[in-house]
Structure formats: C-alpha cells, structure tokens
C-alpha cells in the first residue's frame, strides 16, 4: 500500500516537474529574443537621431529639393513611432511588420536623398556631412548585427515551441510564435553608378 501511495504521488509530480522545466525554458527563450530586440531598439534610436543632423546640414544646400527632405522627415517620424510600438511588443507580428515597413521607407527616402546630394559637390565636401554620413554607416552596421542576433533568437524560440513535448506546454500557456525583423540596409539600396565609357 505504501508503494502505491508513493507511486501515485511521484508520477504526477515528475510529470509536473518536467512540465515546469519545459515552461521555464520557453520563458527563457522568449526573454532572450525580447532582450535582443532591446539592442535593436538602441541602434534604431541612434539612427533616428542622426537624421535631423543630416536634414539640417543639407537644408542650406538643397534649397530646391524640399520634396526629398520632407520625405525623409516624414519617414523618420513614422519610423520613430513604429519603433516605439514595436518596443512595447517585440516579436508581435503586426508590430514587427509595421516596423519593417517604416524602416524600409526611411531607408528608401535616405537613399533618394543621397542620390540627389550627389549633384551638389559642396554638400558632399561639407565636414559635418561627412562625419554624419560616417556615423550613419556605422549605425547601419550595428543595426544589421543586432537584427541578426534578434532573428537568431526568434528562430530558436519558434523552433522550441514547435518541438514535440514543448508544443503542448506552448499551447496551454499561449506562447505564440514571434516574427522576424527583416529590413534593408542602406548600403544595399545605393543605386550603382552607371558609367557609359
């Protein structure tokens, strides 16, 4: 009788403990990708903060290109608000998609601005502009690395919630798959210079 009591207690306890172990692992993986997003957030904020410097410097030279400048300003505002809502819910499909779109729009506007700036050698030679462009490039690299880390962590998490024993726990406790963050680099968007020589 004693043996039966022990067995009756031990088996469900073991199952419960295994369940807890899987649950805790899922929590740890989820926290990992949320923390990885925090890194992206820092770099994106830095990127957004560089834009006003670029616009201010370029304003003096690009008197007749207001359209391009305004496009950049509007795109930046959109990206800032998308970043805030994504920071509140990292991994959420809608928020990440919105962030991707907003950042791509900003990248597009920036690359168009750079194309236009090609025609103004005074602007290109301006010291402040050179410095800020250099900082922008470095920031783009940092964003890329942080994005890669975030996507890796999301991949681990998504895989874990699909694997067999853990997907039961995931279902009961509503662990939803996270969304990747895909966005283009500014470097990829630079239109290649075409020479007809």
Partner 1 sequence: MTDFFERQSIARTKTKLLLCYFVPAVALTILGIYFVVLFGLCFHTSYRGRHYDYARHLFTPTNVNWHLLGVVAVVTVVCVAIASLYKASLLSDGGHAVAAMLGGRQILPNTTNPDELRLRNVVEEMAIASGVTVPEIFVLDDEGSINAFVVGHNASDAALGVTNGAMRLLNRDELQAVVGHEFSHLLNGDMGLNIWLMSLLFGILFIAITGKFLLQVESGTSSSSRRNTGGIVLLGVGLFVIGSIGYFCARLIKCAVCRERECLADASSVQFTRNPIALASALKKIGGLSYGSRILSAEADEASHLFFADVMSENGMFSTHPSLTDRIRLLDPSFDGKFEPIQGPPPRKVDPTRPIQTIMDVPGINRMPPATVLQIAQVINQRNEQTPAPPKPRFTPAHLTYAAGLAASFPPEIDAIVREPFGASAFVYAMLLSCDEAARQKQLTDIAGCADQSVINAAMQYLPTVNALSKGQKLGLISIAIPALRHMSPLQFDSFSKTVQLLVESDSEISLFEYNIQKSIRRHLEPRFKLPTPAIAQYYAAAGLSAECAVLFSALAYQSSIEGTEVARAFRCGADDLQLPPQKQIALLPKDDCNLVQIDAAVQKITQASFPVKKQILNACALVVAADSVVKEEEAEMLRAIADAIGCPLPPFVSSVGIPEAA
| Residues 6 or more apart in contact with residue 85 via CB below 8 angstroms | 95, 98, 99
| Residue 73 in the binding site for partner 1 (CB under 8 A) | no
Q: At residue 90, what are phi and psi to the nearest 5 degrees?
A: -65, 135
| Residue 24 in the binding site for partner 1 (CB under 8 A) | yes
Site map for partner 1, 143-162, x if CB under 8 A?
-xxx-xxxxxx--x------
Tell which one of 7, 11, 15, 21 touches partner 1 (CB under 8 A): 21
Q: Smallest distance from the beta carbon of 137 to partner 1, in angstroms?
A: 9
C-alpha span between 146 and 85 (Å, rounded): 18
Q: Smallest distance from the beta carbon of 84 to partner 1, in angstroms?
A: 5
Question: ∠ CA(60), CA(64), CA(69), 5° rounding?
Answer: 70
Q: Could you tell me which of 36, 28, 32, 26 has the C-alpha nearest to residue 176?
A: 26
Contact (Cβ atoms closer than 8 angstroms) between residue 124 and residue 118: yes
Kindly tell me which of 6 and 74 has the beta carbon lying closer to partner 1.
6
- Please report, as ranges, the residues that interact with partner 1 according to CB under 8 A: 2, 5-6, 9-10, 13, 17, 20-21, 24, 28, 31, 35-36, 38-39, 42-43, 45-46, 49-50, 84, 135, 138, 141-142, 144-146, 148-153, 156
């Amino acid at each position: 009788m004693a043996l039966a009591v022990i067995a009756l207690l031990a088996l469900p306890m073991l199952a419960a403990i295994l369940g807890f172990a899987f649950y805790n692992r899922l929590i740890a993986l989820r926290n990992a990708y949320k923390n990885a997003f925090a890194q992206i957030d820092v770099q994106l904020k830095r990127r957004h903060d560089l834009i006003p410097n670029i616009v201010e410097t370029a304003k003096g030279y690009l008197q007749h290109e207001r359209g391009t400048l305004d496009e950049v300003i509007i795109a930046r505002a959109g990206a800032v608000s998308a970043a805030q809502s994504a920071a509140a819910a990292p991994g959420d499909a809608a928020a990440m998609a919105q962030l991707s779109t907003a950042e791509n729009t900003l990248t597009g506007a920036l690359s168009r601005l750079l194309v236009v700036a090609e025609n103004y050698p005074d602007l290109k030679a301006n010291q402040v502009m050179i410095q800020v462009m250099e900082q922008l490039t470095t920031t783009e690299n940092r964003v890329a690395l942080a994005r890669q880390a975030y996507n890796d962590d999301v991949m681990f998490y998504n895989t874990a919630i699909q694997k067999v024993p853990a997907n039961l726990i995931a279902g009961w406790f509503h662990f939803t798959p996270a969304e990747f963050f895909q966005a283009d680099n500014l470097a990829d968007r630079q239109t290649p210079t075409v020479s007809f020589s």
